[in-house]
Chains A and B, each alone.
Chain A
């Protein structure tokens, strides 16, 4: 019953999110808005029911399984990937490296400028 309550709540937030983005005509996926609303609810209430933690842990621990049917959809796009495999491969590899390095350097520099040296290290996760 716990799990059922949790998954029901997640579906309700997704449903509200889907309806809201359609009504407002904003280019955000409905589930993302659902995520934000659930986060605000948890924050506002200062905690969450065990059922929500259970359902989300169950879903997120098998997150990669959920990508499989979409990944199989690649077979429909074989021709397109074969035609453009050089730009796809290069753009993907280089962009991932650039993003990773730039984000890490920006985070390290801004932490040191704004918070002080050593703030990013060590175990002081909370005040």
Chain B
């Protein structure tokens, strides 16, 4: 590093969005390859490995998150249009929904309330702070929606993103075993449960079991994203008014 040119190059790169953006794509590419190498093991989820790699690199080089995010924001921004794009698989699976719309509506609504209620309730019982409880509340919804809700109800959106990914991995790893234990055999029921509890990561796992389970999981993911956005802020308001008299 005696060459002053190298220092100049580093000064340029650390101030430019190019490095953060390229690092994100390269880290994800490496993480995805590792995921395929392990035979698509849910524990080697590419989000987990690439996030770990990037955090390690940033800490080693003493780069701040803000400097990294100057480049990372271009990838992050696409979460918005990706949420809008969920309308497409929802429409494609709409005909399947007609036959089972009532059971689906009941289980989705109750599932979304149970997901938010149990996470906030357990976190509260175990003594977590309000900020953590609110960050956990939308954890079963897909990340872009969960982050939006977290921000609205007073959680930390970036912490919620991490919790959403961990929730998805937990659901994908445990799901099929749990369904065996409680003797749920219908692929439609397993798919709905996977999509409500573990969003996109669970849906990817459901497609490995059967096309029908995958389709219903994708459907449940899209519908529960909407139900969570509608119900969770309202439930939080309701509970906080109830707990704080006159509040």
Q: Which residues of A contact B (CB under 8 A)?
A: 7, 10-11, 13-14, 17, 27-32, 34-36, 38-39, 42-43, 48, 52-53, 55-57, 59-60, 63-77, 80-81, 84, 86-88, 90-108, 110-111, 114-115, 119-121, 123-127
Question: Assuming A35-B226, A80-B132, is B28 touching A104 (CB within 8 A)?
Answer: no
Q: How far is the CA of A90 from the CA of B132 in the complex (A)?
A: 13
The total of interchain contacts (Cβ-Cβ below 8 angstroms) comes to 332
Closest approach, in angstroms, between the C-beta of A26 and any C-beta of chain B? 9
B residues contacting A by CB (< 8 A) are 24-25, 27-28, 45-47, 50-51, 54-55, 58-59, 65, 68-69, 72-73, 75-76, 78-91, 94-96, 98-100, 102-104, 106-108, 110-111, 114-115, 118-119, 122-123, 126-129, 131-132, 136, 139-140, 142-145, 147-149, 152-153, 156-159, 161-167, 170-171, 174-175, 178-179, 182, 184-190, 192-194, 196-198, 200-201, 212, 215, 222, 225-226, 229-230, 233-234
Q: What 7 additional pairs, Cβ within 8 angstroms, besides A99-B115, A103-B108?
A: A38-B88, A75-B58, A96-B197, A98-B114, A104-B193, A105-B184, A115-B99
Contact indicator B75/A65 (Cβ below 8 Å): yes
A-B CB contact pairs (8 Å), 8 listed: A28-B229, A32-B225, A56-B85, A67-B164, A75-B55, A100-B197, A115-B102, A125-B99
B72 to chain A: which residues have CB within 8 Å? 68-69, 72
